[in-house]
Amino acid sequence: MKTFELNNKQRIPAVGFGVFMIPNDGPTYDATLAALKAGYRHIDTAAGYCNESDVGKAIKDSGIDRSEIFITSKLWVQDMMDYESAQKGIEASLEKSGLEYFDLYLLHQACGDYFSAWRAMETAYQEGKLKAIGVSNFYPDRLVDLALDTDVVPAVNQVEVNPFHQQDAALIYNTKYGVQLEAWAPFAEGKNGIFTNETLVEIGNKYNKSVGQVILRWLVQRGIVPLAKTVRKERMQENLNIFDFELS
């Protein structure tokens, strides 16, 4: 699996598996375990998804060494009121997942007292509970403000990126400050007829690839980490099979 280097020298797998909107108590466990068996080594969850426990259980039951799996979770807005609430939120995520550390932990949105929440994450980062810290859904102005006024520059910013929402400005500012861009909803949640779009279908035919593979390859070639969600095993395999071609 291709990886990108974060600004603290940690390596992040170039393609991740997202579990947003997959229910806890079974479905997330099954999907995560299937993804790991398919070859994914990057799993993205969040406190707000309410399925951290299923992700953690699947990791333990996979038989794969923990050091080989990159796990991301996120601090939800109710835990961003102050430093103490953020500390409690971080500990709750670790407890629910049953993990000793997260490879990446993000502020889910630029809400509440996110500067105090960030300082709590910096503390957990220094303690080794979080191997890297970053943000999610931060517009360029909020990202730059945080990057210039904190001890630890965010390693990642996770935002919506897809062919209909290409985020050129976000990519410029994230790159300028050494922040890795991640893409949620790379398939635009299936909207706007993305999988039957004539241009994307034509490109896919040229390379003998699906529209989904073309989109994921386009993101990786832009230096963006896509997070694709699916509960279908054949689609999991397909979404990983993007490293044997290059878009012109």
Per-residue confidence in pLDDT tens, the chain, 248 aa: 899 999 999 999 999 999 999 999 999 999 999 999 999 999 999 999 999 999 999 999 999 999 999 999 999 999 999 999 999 999 999 999 999 999 999 999 999 999 999 999 999 999 999 999 999 999 999 999 999 999 999 999 999 999 999 999 999 999 999 999 999 999 999 999 999 999 999 999 999 999 999 999 999 999 999 999 999 999 999 999 999 999 99
- The pLDDT value recorded for residue 88 is 98
125 is catalytic: no
Quickly count: other Cβ atoms within 10 Å of residue 9's Cβ: 8
Q: Which of 192, 185, 216 is nearest to 203 (CA)?
A: 216
Distance separating the N- and C-terminal Cα atoms of the chain: 21
- The pLDDT value recorded for residue 12 is 98
Which residue among the candidates 49, 105, 114, 125 is catalytic per the annotation?
Answer: 49
**pTM of the entire predicted model:** 0.97
What is the Cα–Cα distance from 233 to 35, expressed in whole angstroms?
7
Which residues are bridge partners to 105 per DSSP? 73, 133
CA atoms within 13 A on the CB side of 90: 30
Q: Which H or E element spans position 30?
A: helix 27-38
Q: Which of 86, 89, 106 is nearest to 97 (CA)?
A: 89
- The pLDDT value recorded for residue 64 is 98
At 72, give phi and psi (nearest 5°).
-115, 140
Structure tokens at 172: 């410029």
Q: Which residues, 6+ apart, have CB-to-CB distance to 243 below 8 Å?
A: 2
Map tokens 């006024």 to a residue: 149
**CB-count exposure of residue 31 (10 Å: 0-12, 13-18, 19+):** buried
Map tokens 């909107």 to a residue: 21
Q: Which H or E element spans position 73?
A: strand 70-75
